[in-house]
Structure 1
Amino acid sequence: MEEKPVAMDEESISQRIDAKSHGLVLLIDDDPMVAEALRVMLENEDDLRMHYCSDASSALDVAEQLKPTVILLDMVMPDINGLMLLRYLRVNESTRAVPVVALSMKDDAKLKAEVFTAGGNDYLIKLPEAIELIARIRYHSNCYIRLLQRDEAFRALDISQRKLAASNIKLQQLASMDGLTGIPNRRYFQETMQNEWERATDDGKPLSVVLMDIDFFKKCNDHYGHQYGDEVLCKVAKAMESSMEHKSELVARFGGEEFVALLPGVDIDGAAAVGERLRKVVDSLKLDNVQSEVCAWVTISIGVSSCMPGTEGTFFEQLIKSADEALYEAKMQGRNRVVKSLDLNHSEGKSQ
């Protein structure tokens, strides 16, 4: 009559029970006659399967491996009594929620109270009538099965929500990144600038923009081909992004061969120094551009603008426009250089 326990996890049990509505009963009792009597009571019940364990000292291991949906536990056994084993079952991670029906020869109110205090779910006098035993086993087993299925549903929902959240983050990242260079795109730059403008307005700190353009990029594309042109854009973008020294500083692709850097808390002189560092970083790449009228490799021209956000009559669109005017001036002066715009708060935006 004794069967070898079969190891399976909660998910497999849940799936098996969900398909066939089967319950798995573990009887822990040192009396083989009681075990045989209970086996006979259950043998014609197609939805119930019984496993018998006569050794209380190994019962916890058997329960962990078998993963029953209900446990019938004798209260009087050698070595370990039923109450002690019940307490062990309740502190064990894999058995703490499994329904336990206590079996006893005594109709003892004190013992019943101790059983329920220790975490028992039911109490039966041996030997109960078959109809009552089966009804109670089915009730407790089905409750546990529903608990497993509910937990499994919650786990599946949690996994689904985590995957959805990760997908949303991924989509948000994709929407904010430039598809070619992998650095932030113009949309993300504009969103960030709006936020930094508001923060700088509250903090009373300057905000600077560095606008950059690759010199004679069209000639580079025409001479070497668009594949090389794309490679130039990627290498320039990564080099500039890697050269930024503070987390608050942002480099983005502004469009075409134009790039932009946003520098919170940096004044015009500090922004010009950052622009010069970026110019040197790109120059050091020595990317071929023999058609350039500046030199034989890729260079950039830079316009820098700065202001104190919140000053009356000053808007972040003006900051970008002023940097663009300074960039134009850098090109007029021969390219491959940095030109600063005058302070927006004290000028009409003329470059110097």
Structure 2
Amino acid sequence: MVLLVDDQAFVAEFIRRQLVSEHDINFHYCINPVDAISTAEKIGPTVVLLDLVMPDIDGLMLCRQFRNHPTVCDLPVVMLSSTEDSVVKAQGFAAGANDYLVKPPDKIELIARLRYHSASYINKLQRDEAYRALRASQMRLEELNMELLQLANLDGLTGLANRRYFNERYSEEWARAVRTKKPIALIMSDVDRFKVFNDHYGHLGGDDCLKQVAATIKAAVGRPGDIVARYGGEEFIIALPNTSIEGAVCVAEKIRADVEQQAIPHPFSDISAHVTISLGVAAVIPQPGTDPATLIKQADQYLYQAKNTGRNRVQGAAFSPDDPVSVV
């Protein structure tokens, strides 16, 4: 569709007659330049013919307005003028015009230019639409990839990090602790008498119990950099970067107390009438060349001690000076 903006009706009639036999070209006329942009928004032309000299708003000013308006800024604008002055032409192009025709334009040239600019604009719209569709598809794919990545990193039952992801993150934090010479602590925990609980309440009841315990542990560990994971079965592990043994024991004791306060019934436990957990804690300032698994083994040993000394308790300490790591 062609939109002509010209204050002279006889010019509009001249252009209309040149285009009337071209069935693929729809012609629309706007006599008042003040209404040009609103008319363009309403009818959706694919090219604008714009007279250079008009009252109130001249063609140069109106062209700039088109270029600064968000909904019509990309419309091709062909300037119409009675002069072939190169300075005037340069002003038209500087204002944002795509083309320039001298009035009265030759019919063949006018039609050829209108078709060219109209086709270019339609192609641009199609490219933009295709790009938007492609971009939307890419963004959706990125979202799906992130969802898949999260699913790959999470334990399906509890929503905590899984063991594989924990090992990756823990190795990174261990390396950071080596570089910064800062402590790192681990807490390993185990639900007390969980087999008895599972035997009595069934697997669904056991699953619900693990979910509640996992949520309680997650809530008790507040820092974004801390890593909380299900390590296997009813066992959970927490890595606390830049944390001393004293700080880690405080976190572990909070976890123990919070789980006990959940008062999840466990009538067949010989420890308590409610679900409890045992926790082992270890901390260290790792030295270059040391194995991250050493701290896991140490925390596991303290967990074993917590179980053997009555359960529902926290056992832990920093490594001794004889170990190949520094005492925190």
Answer yes or no: is the 8 Å Cα contact 2:306–2:315 preserved in 1: yes
Matches within 5 A, 1:154-173: 154-173=131-150
Residue 298 of structure 2 corresponds to residue 298 of structure 1: no
The secondary structure found in structure 1 opposite 2:39 is helix
Q: Following the alignment from structure 1 to structure 2, what is the Cα–Cα distance between the partners of residues 91 and 33?
A: 30
Distance in 1, matches of 2:99 and 2:246, equals 80
Equivalent of 2:218, from 241, 257, 265?
241
C-alpha contact (below 8 Å) 1:305/1:343 kept by paired residues: yes
Q: Which moved more, 1:167-176 or 1:188-197?
A: 167-176
| Cα distance in 2, alignment partners of residues 45 and 236 from structure 1 | 77
Q: SS of the counterpart of 1:57?
A: helix
Percent identity, please.
Answer: 47
Deviation, 1:84, is 2.1
Give the aligned residue type for 2:293: E
In the other structure, the counterpart of 1:87 is 64
SS of residue paired to 1:346: coil
Alignment counterpart, residue 126 of structure 1, candidates 90, 103, 114: 103
Which of 325, 334, 343 is 2:310 aligned to? 334
User: How far does residue 240 in structure 1 lie from its aligned partner after superposition?
Assistant: 0.9
Instruction: Tell me how far 1:279 sits from its aligned partner.
Output: 0.7
Offset of residue 125 of structure 1: 2.1
* Number of aligned residues: 325
Q: Among 269, 282, 286, which residue is 1:309 paired with?
A: 286
C-alpha spacing 1:307/1:345, structure 2 compared with 1 (3 Å):
farther
Contact 1:306 1:344 in 2 (8 A): no
Structure 1 Cα separation of the partners of residues 11 and 312 of structure 2:
96
Give 1:182-261 correspondences, 5 Å limit.
Answer: 182-261=159-238
Question: Alpha-carbon deviation of 1:162?
Answer: 1.7
With structure 1 as the length reference, what TM-score do the two structures score? 0.87
Cα displacement string for residues 170-213 of structure 1 (whole angstroms, at most 9, x for unaligned residues) = 11111111111111111121111100000000011121111000
- Alignment pair present for 1:107 and 2:84: yes
1:185 counterpart letter in structure 2: N
* Aligned AA (1:339): Q
SS for the counterpart of 1:83 is helix
Gap regions ≥5 residues in structure 1: 1-23
Stretches of structure 2 lacking an aligned partner (at least 5 in a row): none
TM-score (norm 2): 0.93
Whether the aligned pair in 1 keeps the contact of 2:3 and 2:48 (CA below 8 Å) is yes
Letter in 2 for 1:327: L
Give the 4+ runs in structure 1 shifted more than 6 A.
none
> CA contact under 8 A between 2:284 and 2:318: conserved in structure 1?
no
Deviation at 1:344?
Answer: 5.4
- Write the distance in 2 (CA, Å) between the matches of 1:339 and 1:116: 80
Equivalent in the alignment of 2:45: 68
Aligned residues of 1:302 and 1:338 also touching (Cα < 8 A): yes
